[in-house]
């Protein structure tokens, strides 16, 4: 049986160059593909951050406005809560808590304005919102 022997030129030059090319080329093309498919452009990221920030600020305004009404301030004082401290605590809520309270506050204000709920129920809703804020801050 004949033994196959590679010439020294192949062993020293062509084979290492070919192996290097094969090993590096797929990696470069896969990295480029992954970069194009999975990275978010800075403009899109900036728009998402700005949108989230605007939504959060609107939710803070909604809850703050709801708790700044004379009815809310009176209800908080009657329940021995400091209205200023409660309103100061609103921005410390998580985005989810804030969105939930903003939705409920706007709904309660709208229903009160339309006459669907009375003063007593609105006062109860205000106290519930205050308690939720306090519990959320404590945890």
Tens digit of each residue's pLDDT (9 = 90 or more) over 7-28: 565 556 666 666 666 667 665 5
- State residue 69's pLDDT score: 94
- Alpha-carbon distances of 110 from 67, 73, 96, rounded to whole Å: 14, 18, 21
Question: Per-domain residue ranges for the chain?
Answer: 56-138
Residue spans of the chain under pLDDT 70: 1-23, 25-38
Q: Is 127 helix (H, G, I), strand (E, B) or coil?
A: helix
pLDDT digits (tens, 9 = 90+) for 33-44: 555 555 778 888
- State residue 42's pLDDT score: 84
- State residue 139's pLDDT score: 76
Q: With contact defined as beta carbons under 8 Å apart, do 126 and 75 qualify?
A: yes
């Amino acid at each position: 049986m004949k033994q196959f022997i590679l010439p020294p030129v192949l062993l020293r030059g062509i084979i290492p160059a070919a192996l290097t090319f094969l090993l590096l080329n797929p990696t470069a093309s896969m990295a480029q593909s992954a970069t194009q498919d999975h990275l978010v452009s800075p403009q899109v990221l900036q728009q998402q951050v700005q949108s989230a920030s605007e939504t959060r600020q609107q939710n803070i305004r909604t809850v703050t406005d709801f708790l700044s009404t004379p009815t809310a301030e009176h209800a908080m004082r009657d329940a021995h809560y400091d209205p200023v401290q409660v309103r100061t605590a609103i921005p410390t809520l998580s985005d989810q808590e804030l969105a939930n309270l903003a939705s409920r506050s706007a709904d309660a204000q709208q229903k009160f304005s339309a006459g669907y709920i009375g003063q007593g129920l609105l006062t109860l809703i205000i106290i519930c919102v205050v308690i939720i804020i306090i519990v959320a801050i404590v945890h």
